[in-house]
Amino acid sequence: MKIKILYEDKDVLAINKPSGVMVHSDGRSDEETVTDWVMKNYPELKGVGEPVTFNNEEIDRPGIVHRLDKETSGVLLIVKNKKSFSYYKKQFMDRKIKKTYVAIVSGHVKNDKGTIDKPIGRSPTDFRRRLSGRGARGEMREAVTEYKVIKRFEDEAGNKFTYLEVYPKTGRTHQIRVHMKFLNHPVACDALYAPKNPCPEGLNRLALHAKLIEFRNLKGKTIKVESPVPKDFLKVIV
């Protein structure tokens, strides 16, 4: 697995996670994951972080302090010791870490910018999905997402799309995908939340990319790490 390192110091590194790669095992698949790459290249990280349990199996997650969906590409932070794990985990919990995504969504979004402030629960029909609005089940967790329109366009087949910058203020599972679905502008090529919607010609992956992350390191210095917008996005939005 080829993974590019975007930033590194003695406490943390930021990688460019490819689309289609899981951050850690789900206990069901034998696919290579980011944590496999970590253990191969940074074996000293074993035991750093917190394990997670799937199907009664404890899954080790060395260095993992936050995650991206399997289909989402872009900047992912990995911590390198227990002190930095506690430090960055608190920054995420306190919402001190700023994240910027780019997304291509279905349809032309009406407003040039907006805020989606809508709690997220679980879908009553599919355990894999989350839901905002009517019908959501279980614990409803606060979720806030801001967005800004960069470009509205059509593909050669006449299907309408909007290219957005998206700023999640909370960190819920599938948050951007759920909130854009709530707006009736689901993320393009999303097989879980909008399987029947058209996908822009030439794009064969979820149209969501973690472009930028901004955080303070252990010395208090502000660090910005950016992942270039993928080439397949750029070809679509020209």
Residues carrying an active site annotation: 69
* Cβ-contact 119, 196 below 8 angstroms: no
Residue 25 structure tokens:
């095992």
Dist CA 6 CA 229 (whole Å): 13
In a 13 Å sphere around the CA of 81, the CA atoms on its Cβ side amount to 6
> What is each CA distance from 219 to 10, 118, 215, 226, in whole angstroms?
11, 35, 11, 20
Dist CA 207 CA 224 (whole Å): 23
